[in-house]
Amino acid sequence: MHDTVIRGGTIVDGSGDASYTGDLTIDEGRISAVGGKAGPGRREIDADGLLVTPGWVDVHTHYDGQATWDPILAPSSWHGVTTTLFGNCGVGFAPVRQEHRRELIDLMEAIEEIPGTALEEGVTYDWESFPEFLDALERQPRTIDVGAQLGHLPLRVYVMGERAINLEPATAEDIAQMKTLTAEALAAGAFGFTTSRTNSHKTLSGGFVPSRYSEVDEMMGIGSALTQFDHGAFGINTEFEDEAGELAWLTDLALQTGRPTWFLITQNISDPDRWKRLIASIHAARASGAPVSGQVACRPVGVLLGIGATLTPFSAREAFQELRGLSSEDRLARMRDPAVRERILNSPDSDDAMDRLSPSRVRAITRWDRMYTFGPDADYEPADERCVVTIAANSNRTAEEVAYDYLVEGLDRFLYCPVSNYVDGNLETTREMFLDPGTLSGLSDGGAHVGSVVDASMPTYLLTHWARDRTRGPKLPLELVVKAQTSETADFFGLSDRGRLAPGQRADINLIDHDGLRIHAPHLVHDLPAGGKRLVQGVDGYVATLVAGETTFENGEHTGALPGRLVRAGRT
């Protein structure tokens, strides 16, 4: 008598092999048998007509703060994610001294666009060291499993204080202490170390973040802590200003440590062929024995512009500044006034407002040829006829007027601006990057950019757009997109007990009505601490999600079960 039997489903086991029909059994929270006809179970689930897959392993989120107060971790948990890693892009909340707690909140607000008021109320800071942070996470009940990486920004501020904030170089003593603390974090169960050297990450005042100009000696010194462990990865988000130089030291680091080293890859407008060079460098590094990878997204890295969102195309305009402090509803009412419309459309940009924005955000609010209407279909591969420039040409209006008039129709109206991965107006380049054997699926940014991005639905997007719906180019095989977000991501970070439907594996499982799978349009809610707002995106088609054999969601509704836990690297 098994604890649970899932009967007659289409099993897509996460290995990449062809799907097949059969039963799956669960005993004591783990999979005990897959395929064939199983004996009876205390609980039986009819999966006829459903996909049976491993739970998604999302390795690029920013739930560092939310995980300390929220047991659900939506919207990722709504979309079948059963394991998530945060601590990406160098940000985080540990280690921390009491006098720098607010600085870390400000950095998270500036970089990952999570309201500071929500973080200030929600993050209790009952820790100082990174091991203590993990202990705090372990005490929190939760629906899904979480793991953490050590961020460079809190580490640097902890060791260097104001010198880090002032972008001063690290001394040999600083580097030695950061290495020691990194080893301490890895020993406690951190899944690796991440850092940021990108112009897209700015402070609230418009300056660069503490790690922006960290020198190679500092990177190599901290990274060398990985040599002491058989787990942990080194991740970086960088501008590649010195492309050859950075690729050289990243390859050296991977060779010296033997640990996975990864960096983010997107196709950007200013250098649309850089992704090809970066992927070529990955293959060259691997040929030399260095475990180097690129992390890529499955759709454009874009921004939603709307009156209730963080940004509109008019946010930097001088006439718009008087509306910034209003509620979304009051701002909408004011913008519907013809006189206000006239002033905003004819207003110049404020230099101060523009300076506070990262380069990617500047592009998002100024590239009219990259703004698309984003209706209820949530189309992330929009055709040219949805571009405001094209609509303007066919309606005797300017692009600015089209954008303005579309947005004031309601708070559920958004313009979609693909900042990267959409240079050619389609997703063919994204498809190539995703398929390359040197890349890893990621960049959902779950929990981050909550007022302008809601890419936590990326796991579902792989099954809908790529494996079922795409018409503007080739689709991707279902088995491949399941593997890309289960066994591949799990194996990369050493999560050896999940990511496959196989005996002995943790029973993290999705039951999916593939034909009925549908991503909802994003909408704004005010459910963060202190009434903070965020964009969320629901989904239909997940019939059930199981974590360690317990059903956490049924048809989109939380069952109340909280089987999730903190996962410590090296101890799975």
CA dist 35 and 282 (Å) reads: 37
Q: Where are the alpha helices (DSSP H) in 189-263?
A: 216-223, 243-257
Report CA torsion sign: 531, 84, 469, 388. positive
Burial class (CB in 10 A: 0-12, 13-18, 19+), 114: buried
Report CA torsion sign: 342, 348, 351, 356. positive
pLDDT of residue 194: 98
Q: Which helix (H) or strand (E) holds 169?
A: none
Domains annotated on the chain, with CATH:
2-54+506-558 (2.30.40.10), 56-299+423-492 (3.20.20.140), 306-417 (no CATH)
Query: pLDDT tens digits, residue range 270-294?
Result: 899 999 999 999 999 999 999 999 9
**Residue where the block lists tokens 């607010």:** 102
pLDDT of residue 131: 98
Q: What is the pTM of this model?
A: 0.96
pLDDT of residue 200: 82
Cβ neighbors of 347 (< 8 A, separation 6 or more) are: 314, 317, 318, 319, 320
Q: Where are the alpha helices (DSSP H) in 231-377?
A: 243-257, 274-287, 328-335, 338-345, 351-355, 359-366
Beta strand ranges found along 87-200 (DSSP E): 145-148, 150-151, 192-197
Percent of the chain with pLDDT over 90: 93
126 contacts 136 by C-beta, under 8 angstroms: yes
17 contacts 480 by C-beta, under 8 angstroms: no
558 contacts 76 by C-beta, under 8 angstroms: no
CA dist 175 and 180 (Å) reads: 9
pLDDT higher than threshold 70 for residue 572: no
pLDDT higher than threshold 90 for residue 566: yes
Q: What is the mean pLDDT of residues 52-76?
A: 98
Please choose, from the candidates 52, 14, 79, 11, the residue with its C-alpha nearest in 3D space to the C-alpha of residue 511. 52
3-state secondary structure of 151: strand
pLDDT higher than threshold 90 for residue 452: yes
CA dist 153 and 505 (Å) reads: 35
DSSP 398-443: -HHHHHHHHHTT-TT-EEEEEEES-TTSSSHHHHHHHHSTTEEE--
pLDDT higher than threshold 90 for residue 31: yes
Q: What is the mean pLDDT of residues 237-242?
A: 94
CA dist 370 and 418 (Å) reads: 6
3-state secondary structure of 547: strand
Q: How far is CA 418 from CA 108, 220, 360, 369, in A?
A: 23, 34, 10, 10
Please choose, from the candidates 552, 570, 562, the residue with its C-alpha nearest in 3D space to the C-alpha of residue 79. 552
Q: How far is CA 142 from CA 292, 419, 558, 563, in A?
A: 33, 34, 12, 7
Q: What is the mean pLDDT of residues 473-497?
A: 98
Query: pLDDT tens digits, residue range 500-552?
Result: 999 999 999 999 999 999 999 999 999 999 999 999 999 999 999 999 999 99
Average pLDDT, the chain: 96
Query: pLDDT tens digits, residue range 345-387?
Result: 999 999 888 888 888 888 899 999 999 999 888 999 999 999 9
Measure the CA dihedral 467/469/472/476, to 10°.
0
CA dist 64 and 448 (Å) reads: 10
pLDDT higher than threshold 80 for residue 19: yes
